[in-house]
Amino acid sequence: MKKLYLLGGLAALTLSINAQITDKAELSRVPASLERCEKALVTANPTAQQKGPGDVFWSEDFTGGIPAGWSVMDNNGMGYDWILNNTAVTAAYTGTNGSPINSTSGGNHMLLFGDGYNTDGGSGGTVPLPSFTEMDSYFQTAAISMAPGYNAVSLQWEQKMRFCCTADLGAFVVIVSQDPTFAPGPTTVEYEANQYIDFNDSSDDPMTVAVDISAVAGGNYTGDIYIRFHQRQNSHYFWMVDDIAMLETPNNDLKLLDGWWANTPGGNTPYIPYSKMPLNQLNDIDFYSVVRNNGGMTQPNTVMTATVSGAASATFASTATNMAPQTSDTVISGPMVGPGSSVGSYQVAWSVASDSTDFTP
């Protein structure tokens, strides 16, 4: 519950704002016992199975090891490969956040441990090498059949990462291709994996990432695809990946990820969502939300509405926009005039809609 208290003169005035939002959604050492898993137990590599929109039709959680036909490669030729891991990692610079990824399935996950590779003695060492090598290493799947075909497809995975010392685009990518050699062309597409994490910042644990791969895997394509997780820069710290899945993307699926209010510029309270404000400092109030089109089709005339009730009632709608598939945006509605507002308690509910019928209204 979000509460805002307005204080005026000798009397305390209360404005309670409740955010009614659905789907609220963004250095160390390896134990000496950690070994490269070049001959891991394998599981069958499943093909796609017919499901309904929103259902997972292919997944891998590494419970049985690295699946048959999957491969790893270090383009530096130094053996700095992705490995199968299920334990905490530590090396010269990794801190206390080197614990295994807290993924949904838990246990086995894929790990590229740059800090370990750049530490004297490797995993479990404490002294950094005199010069560092940036990672250029990937793991990729075997062929995944897309039969019987899907109009729109999303790829999602859970990850835990920290890296140093560049956040350049293309440093951490997931590449999806219809070609096992990943040759450049219209059937090979790269997607950013670090999702705007800055260097030396730790991601959520786990951080769930989803990208629309319909350009390669959608359009009712029934052939094979291949998925590659590739780190091409940064010498430290680690990248853990688990619970990779593909699901059929619903055509129409708008999500409200967050909602808040803020004063418009004026006085000493510009754009700050204060929980307590004297009436003599109260300015007009705007309503914000983060909206995501999680579907596979553009949502025409997408509008966020903030509905105010309580001591007074009003509705504030954002400007209509056509929202592209698999994109997010911060939208604004208002303002609610602050000066002269009635004393009392208010509630605010955020909603979002378009001209299309939503998959999960």
DSSP string, 62-122: -TTSSPTT-EEEETTSS----EEE-S--B-SBB-TT-SPP--SS-S-EEEE-HHHHTBTTS
Tokens at 48, concatenated: 């796609």
Answer whether the bond into residue 206 is a cis peptide, omega within 30°.
yes
Q: Smallest Cα–Cα separation from 195: which of 215, 174, 175, 214?
A: 174
- Looking at per-residue pLDDT, the higher value among 181 and 35 belongs to 181
| Per-residue tokens: 18 | 């409740």
How large is the average pLDDT for residues 335-345? Answer: 79
Cα separation, 226 vs 212, whole angstroms: 15
3-state secondary structure of 116: helix
Which of 17-21, 93-97, 290-294 shows the highest mean pLDDT?
290-294
* Single-letter amino acid, residue 320: A
Q: How confident is the model at residue 264 (pLDDT cuts 50, 70, 90)?
A: low
CA torsion through residues 184, 60, 208, 85, sign: negative
Asked if pLDDT for residue 3 goes beyond 70, the answer is: no
If one compares 145 and 293, the residue with the highest pLDDT of the two is 145
φ, ψ for residue 127, nearest 5 deg: -110, 120
Write the pLDDT tens digit of every residue in 92-136: 998 777 899 999 999 999 999 999 999 998 888 899 999 999 999
Task: Please indicate whether the domains covering 2-24+252-353 and 56-248 agree at the CATH topology level.
Answer: no
Mean per-residue pLDDT over the chain, rounded: 82
Instruction: Kindly list the domain boundaries of the chain, sorted by start residue.
Output: 2-24+252-353, 56-248
DSSP for 176-222, please give it.
Answer: EESSTT--SSTTEEEEESSTTPPTTPPPPSSEEEEEE-HHHH-TT--
pLDDT at 40 over 50: no
Q: Which element (helix H / strand E) includes 264?
A: none
Collapsing DSSP states into helix, strand and coil, what is residue 279? helix
Q: Which of 5-9, 185-189, 299-303 has the lowest mean pLDDT?
A: 5-9
pLDDT at 43 > cutoff 60: no
Question: Considering the domain 56-248 in this protein, what is its CATH number?
Answer: 2.60.120.200
Domain 2-24+252-353 CATH (choose: 3.30.70, 1.10.3470, 2.60.40, 1.10.12): 2.60.40
Q: Output 203 or 198, whichever has higher pLDDT.
A: 203
pLDDT at 277: 63
3-state DSSP: the chain helix, strand, coil percent, rounded to 5? 5, 40, 55
DSSP character at residue 132 = -
pLDDT at residue 32 greater than cutoff 50 = no
Asked if residue 327 has pLDDT above 90, the reply is: no
pLDDT of res. 337: 83
How far apart CA 206 and CA 203 sit, in angstroms, is: 8
Residues 53, 152: Cα–Cα separation, whole Å: 9
